[in-house]
Structure 1
Amino acid sequence: MRRIKHAEIEARRFLAEHRLSLPLNLEEVAKLLDTKITYASFQGDGAILYKGNKYNLIIANKNQELGQLRFNIAHEISHCLLKHEGTFFHTHPGNDKPIYEKCADTCASELLIPRLELKRKYPLFNGDVKKLKKHFMVSEKAMVTKLQILNLSYTNTFYR
């Protein structure tokens, strides 16, 4: 639990240090972390991170819905930000994830949907998930998950 909280704090620190605006420009973030993003077509959702000596490379499946694509890229960026050891990382769907994957999910969520910014915007959109997800440029699932974590009620969603 402590490592997951650290991942959230690290995302907040990074956003503040670099004075990044929302919705987050992932290409800009990647550049700050000596990471390149490229897009390809492959089976399934997700992205892959290769951590090299000179720079890191994220290969993202361009055939994903924009919000899911952004989350998967932010997830891989989070491995770099959190300085996870290893050469290859890929998106792990489902709940049975190693702790470093849960940390990357938490960090990605906080990068894309910072809790303080969500709490500021929440009343403006009356908890409407579709409007909030459009504002933050994330998937409906990512927005619902963040709202649930913050115990905020929500409407207008497929997820319950």
Structure 2
Amino acid sequence: MSNELVMYTDGASRGNPGPGGYGAILFWGDHRKELSQGYRYTTNNRMELMAVIAGLEALKKGGLKITIYSDSQYVVKAWEQGWLKNWIATDFKGGKKNKDLWLHFYELAKKNTIRFVWVRGHADNPYNNRCDQLATAAADKGPLHVDKVFEEESGR
């Protein structure tokens, strides 16, 4: 089996902020795994990033080449254009959001070789569309977990 993994991810939020969820699909050879989770109060960007984190957390080993397809310019550009390294170097100065998730992602990312590819959302990519279905169903049907850091930062 090759050491290449393909992941599709998407996040959703009703109201932004509001109830949200993420969906991810991991492909490893002939294997496919779908992940999703809902949260009672969060944002779209947090869910886009949580989808990636959940996919990486599901891996049982490191040293993989991973291609992650996302319709989030925020997530794709943060990694591919080096924004995240600048945010970390400046301790997220200037009100950069989601520091907790970005730092967690960064630690997970170190274990593998990751490349992000942007895909147009709500278009003709069946895997992105499936991730959107997983994310919205998780947000709408629950069970809804607590995005503790975001709720604390929001004063809820």
TM-score by length of 2: 0.29
More strand per residue: 1 or 2?
2
| Structure with more of its chain in helix, by fraction | 1
TM-score by length of structure 1 reads 0.29
